[in-house]
Amino acid sequence: MLRALLFYAILFAAPLPGAELFEAIRNGTSAEVRAALAMPGVNAAAKDETGTPALVVAAVFNSLDTMKALIEAGADVNAANGVFTSLR
């Protein structure tokens, strides 16, 4: 139940600076995520407006390639949104 609520909160969240990264995670490929990470001011440790780290968003969307791209770019695998980390 909590995972489903998190999924919908992430899916319908409003954009923030670096929103290109979250858009790529939600709708794109790992190549699009890598392209977003190459943009000025965007980093793998970014959090969305709900406080959810990019890596957790990728985990919610079950995108292993995207998670790998974020980790290679320096995402913290232990970062959490208060409830979930990318590992659970």
pLDDT at 12: 62
Instruction: Give me the pLDDT at residue 83, please.
Output: 73
Q: What pLDDT is attached to residue 65?
A: 92
> Would you state the pLDDT for residue 37?
93
Q: Give, as one character, the DSSP assignment of residue 14.
A: P
**6-15 tens-digit pLDDT:** 666 666 664 5
pTM recorded for the entire structure: 0.75
**Per-residue pLDDT tens for 19-76?**
889 999 988 788 999 999 999 889 999 988 888 899 999 988 888 999 999 999 999 9
* Ordered alpha helix ranges (H), 12-53: 19-27, 30-37
